[in-house]
Structure 1
Amino acid sequence: MNAPLVDDITAALADASARFLAARPKTVALHEAAKAVMPGGNTRTVLFTPPVPIRVAKAEGAHVTDVDGFTYVDLLGEYSAGLYGHSHPRIGRAVGDALAMGLNLGAHHAGEVRLAEAVTRRFDLDLVRFTNSGTEANMMALAAARAFTGRQKIMGIKAGYHGGTLYFGAGGAAVNAPFDVVLAPFNDITATRKLITEHGPALAALIIEPMLGSGGCLPADRAYLEMLREETRKHGIILIFDEVMTSRLAPKGLSHALGITPDLKTLGKYIGGGMSFGAFGGRRDIMEQFDPTRANFLPHAGTFNNNTLTMTVGFAALDEIFTPAACLDLNRRGDRLRERINDLFMRYQVAVQAKGIGSLINIHPLAGEINAPEATAKADPRLRQLLYLDLLEEGYYIAGRGYMALSLVVSDEHCDGFLAALDKVVTKRRHLLTPR
C-alpha cells in the first residue's frame, strides 16, 4: 500500500471518528463516566470499538437506539446470542413463567429436564450438562476429556476462540487457563496430521469450531474435519466441536450437516433464549463421569446451572421459536445476503469480501483467497473501523471487526436496506478500497 493511500485512509478515519463523536455528546459523556469505575470504561472487551463504543438505551425487534437517539438496524445480534431479536413476546411470557415459578430454588425441577430432553434430541447428544456460558462449557468439556483419557495436553487451532480463558490468537492470551496447549494451523491437513501424530500419546482432546467464529467466519474444509475425526479416533483423543455459535447454522448443528460426529459438543448463546447459557454433552461413557451416584465421580458445581429463568426461556425458544424450519429459513436468508454482498463488491471491483455460512457473516477488507486466520490478519484495521463507522452513519450496527449475526427478526427488507447502505459506503470509499 503506497504512502498517499495510507494517508488518505488515516484522514478518512479521522474525519469519520470526529463526526461520530460530535453527533453523540451523551455517548461521550457516558463513556467518560464509565472510565471512572471500569478499566477503559469497559467490562466486556469485544464491545469496545474506537473512538468510543455506542451506548444503547433501548432495543426492540430488529432495532437498537443509543443514548443520543440514533436508531440502528441491529445486524450484530449480540454476537450470535441474540437470535430472537429484542423483546420477543414469547420470550417475555417465558420470563414471566419463570418469575411465577421462582428464580432461585436451590433444587432440581422439571424445567431442567424439559430443556435437557430438547437439547439432547436436537443435537444428538447421549447426555448433557448445563453451564452458564460457552466459556464454562468448553472448560468443562476439556476437563472431562482430560479425566477420561488420563492425559493432560490439549490441541487447539491457531486463532481459535473458545471463551474468555481459551483464546488461541497470537499464541494465546495471558488470561488463558493454564492448559498445556499445542496449536495446529487451521485447514492445513498435512501439518495438523503431523502434529497429532507427534503429540498423540499425550493429547487428551482436540477442540475446534467447524467454522471459526471470532476468527472471521472461516469455514473448516470438510476434508480437514474428516481428517481430524480419523486421526483423533486413531490416537484415542477426544474430539470436541465447539458449536456455541455454529449450532445455529443447521437444524441439528453444523457438525450434523457436515456428517461428522465429534465425541463431545459444546453449546451456548442463543439456546438459552437470550439468557446466560452454556452446555456440554455427547458420548455417554465420557459424560457419565459426572454421575454423582458413581464412585470417584467428577464434580461440576454451578449455582445457576439449572436456574429456572434460563431453563424456562431456553425451552420455549428452542422448542417453539427456533424450530428446524425457522433455522433453515434464517440461514437461507443469510446465504442470500452474503452472496449479494459479494456480488456488490465484485461489481465495484473493490478489495473486500464476505465470508461465512448462513446467518453468520464477516466482511473483510481483503482481496484474494481467505481460508485461514493468517489471511484475515493482513486486513488494514483502519479500513475495518471506517466501514463500521460509515455503516453506523447509514443506520446499521455490525461489529467493529465486520462480523454480523442475523436474528430471526431481520427481514428481507432489512437486508435490502443494508445492501443499499453498503452500496453508498462502497461508492464513497471506493478509492480507498480498490487495490493499487
Structure 2
Amino acid sequence: MLAAPESNSTLESSLLDARSRFIARHPRSAELHSQARTVMPGGNTRSVLYYQPFPIAMDKGEGSTLWDIDGNEFVDLCGEYTAGLFGHSESRIHAAVHQAMTQGLNLAAVGRAEYEFANLICARFPSMELVRFTNSGTEANLLALTAARVHTGRDMILAFPGGYHGGVLLFTPQGPSPVTVPFPFLLADYNDTDSATAVIEQNRDRLAAVIVEPMLGSGGCIPAEISFLKALREATREAGALLIFDEVMTSRMSDGGLQKRLGINPDLTTLGKYMAGGMSFGAFGGRADVMSLFEGRLSHAGTFNNNVLSMAAGRVALGEIFTKEVAEELYVRGERLRTALNDRLTRLGVAMHFSGVGSVATAHYRAPTIRRPYSPTAQEEDLRELFFLDMVQTGFYLARRGMFALSLPVLQSDLDRFVDAVENFASTRRGVLESDGAEP
C-alpha cells in the first residue's frame, strides 16, 4: 500500500518518499548500476531503460512475471515496449529457436523459413505486395524512406513532432532530435489535417514521402484520427508522394495492423518488435513497383537480416500463435482495460487518464482528449516518475513514461489488480493530481 494522503501533501515530498523506498528495495540494482557506469556511459546501452535514481536490473522472466536481482517480483506490463507480446516462456517459440540452433546458426544463405515468414506477413497486410527483412524497426524505416526518395526522385520527407521511427529517426514536440539522420525533413502537427495537407501541396515537387504512426507510440500513445489518415492518403496520392505507415508498434492491433482495422492502405509499411517472437527483427514492404528497386538497383545489406533464429521464431509466432482471433481478443482486452482505468479516474475527478489503442496505452496528467504530443510541464514530469515508482512498489513493471503494452500470457486477475492499483494511486495522491495546469 502507498502512504496515507496526509503524508503526501506535496509532490516534492511524495517523490522524496517514493525514491527512498525504491532505493531501499533495490540495493543490488544500485550496486550493478554503479559497476556498469565504469564501462558504459550512463551505465547502460539503451537510453529508454535508464531512469533516476537507477534502473531496476531484471534477473529472469516467466510468462508475464519478472524477477529482479534483488528478488522482487513484478507483473510485466512493459511488454518490452510492445516487442514482448508472447511473454517470456512461450513453449512453441522456445522449441522453434532450439530446433533452429541444432541445425546451425550462421548459414550465409537463404532458407525455407525466410520465404515462409515473408509469405505470412504479405498475407496479413493488404498493402504489402513484397517485403524485406532487417534487424530492427529503425533500419526498416531508414530503408523505406530511402526507397521512397529513389522511387520518386525527390528528397524531402514529411514527419510529425512526437513521432518515433527508430533510434536515429525521432522527433520531439519541438522537432527532430540531434541524433536524427540528416534527411531534409518537413514537419506538420499530428492530427492537424489542414496543416499537413497544406505542407504536402506546397512541397509537392520535392516531397518523396510522408511517414506517420497510426498511433504515436513513444509520443504518448495518441491515436491518429481516421479523417487525418485518410486525408494523408489522398493528398500523397495526388502529389505523387508515398505514404509510409510505421506500424512497428501498431501492427498488433489486428492480424493486419491498424491499417487493416481502419481500411487505409499505405504505399509502404514498416514493422518490427514482436513479429519474430521476441528475436531481433524489422521489416519493410509495400507496392511491388517500389520494392522492386531492391532487385538490383538498390543494395540492401545486413548480416543478420534473415538470421535463422528470427526466421524460425517468426514463422511460428505469426503462423501458429498470433492468429486473427488471438489478435482480436487482445485488442478487445486492451480496450476494456483502458476504459476501466479511465472510468475509475473519472469518478475520482483527478487530472489523469490513459490514451491509447487496443493493448497499448500511456498515462497523461491532464484532461482528455489529447490530439497531439506536447512538452510535459515540470509537474507532469514529476507525476510520471511518482506513478512509475508507486507502481513498482505495488509490483507492476511498466515503462518509465507510464506506458503499458499487454502480453498474451498476462492474467486478467493481474489486470484487475492493476486497475485497483491505479485507482489507489489516484486516490492516495489526489492532492497532487487535482489540478493539471495544462491544456490538452
- Indicate whether the TM-score tops 0.5: yes
Does structure 1 conserve the Cα–Cα contact (< 8 Å) formed by 2:9 and 2:432? no
Q: 1:353 to 1:52 in 2, by over 3 A?
A: same
**Which residue is 2:5 aligned to?**
none
- Of residues 283, 286, 291 in structure 2, which corresponds to 1:287? 291
Counterpart among 200, 207, 212 of residue 204 in structure 2: 200
Distance 1:104 1:398 in 2: 35
Q: Is 1:235 paired with 2:239?
A: yes
Counterpart for residue 371 of structure 1: 371
Give the letter for the 2:83 counterpart.
A
After superposition, give the CA deviation of every residue in 1:55-104 in whole Å (9 maximum; x if it has no partner): 00111111111111110000000000000001111111011111022110
2:169 matched to 1:166?
yes
1:312 matched to which residue of 2? 312
Secondary structure of 2:374 counterpart: helix
Shift in Å at residue 154 of structure 1? 0.6
1:326 is matched with which residue? 326
In the alignment, which residue of structure 2 is the partner of 1:131?
134
The equivalent of 2:79 in structure 1 is: 77
| Counterpart position of 2:22 | 20
Opposite residue 57 of structure 2, the aligned amino acid is: R
For 2:89, the equivalent position in structure 1 comes to 87
Summarize the alignment of residues 208-357 of structure 1 with structure 2, pairs less than 5 Å apart. Answer: 208-292=212-296, 297-357=297-357
Correspondence for 1:142 among 137, 141, 145: 145
2:162 and 2:134 map into 1 onto residues whose CA distance is 24
If the length of structure 2 is used for normalisation, what is the TM-score? 0.95
Q: Which stretches of structure 1, 4 residues or more, deviate above 2 A after TM superposition?
A: 374-379
Unmatched segments (≥5 aa) in structure 2: 1-7
Amino acid at match of 2:122: T
Question: Which amino acid counterpart does residue 165 of structure 1 have in structure 2?
Answer: V
CA drift of 1:158 comes to 1.1
Q: 1:411 offset after TM fit, Å? A: 2.1
Deviation at 1:111, TM superposition (A): 0.9
153, 156, 163: which one pairs with 1:153?
156
Which residue does 2:381 correspond to in 1? 381
**1:159-206 per-position Cα deviation (integer Å, ceiling 9, x unaligned):** 111000101113111211110000110001111111111111101111
CA contact (8 A) 1:216 1:376 kept: no
Distance 1:379 1:182 in 2: 31
Conservation of the 8 A alpha-carbon contact between 1:13 and 1:386: yes
Q: What is the aligned partner in structure 2 of residue 61 from structure 1? A: 63
Give the counterpart letter for 1:349 in structure 2. G
Contact residue 364 and residue 379 of structure 1 kept, 8 A: no
> Which amino acid in structure 2 is aligned with residue 54 of structure 1?
I
In 2, distance between residues paired with 1:101 and 1:240? 37
> For the residues of structure 1 that align with 2:231 and 2:102, how far apart are their CA atoms?
50
Contact 2:37 2:43 in 1 (8 A): yes
> Cα deviations across residues 295-334 of structure 1 (Å, max 9, x unaligned)?
xx11000001111100000110111111111101111110
Aligned residues: 428
Q: Percent identity?
A: 49
Answer yes or no: is the 8 Å Cα contact 1:364–1:376 preserved in 2. Answer: no
Residue 100 of structure 2, aligned match among 98, 101, 124:
98
Q: 2: CA distance between counterparts of 1:42 and 1:375?
A: 25
1:377–1:155 Cα change, 3 Å? farther
Q: Tell me which amino acid in the other structure corresponds to 1:113.
A: Y
CA distance in 1, matches of 2:377, 2:354: 15
**Runs of 5+ unmatched residues, structure 1:** 1-5
Comparing 251-260 with 75-84, greater Cα deviation is found at 251-260
Q: Which residue identity is paired with 1:284?
A: A
Q: Deviations over 1:250-299 (max 9, x none)?
A: 1211011111110000000100110000000000000001013xxxx110
CA contact (8 A) 2:27 2:70 kept: yes
d(CA) in 2 for partners of 1:78, 1:167: 19
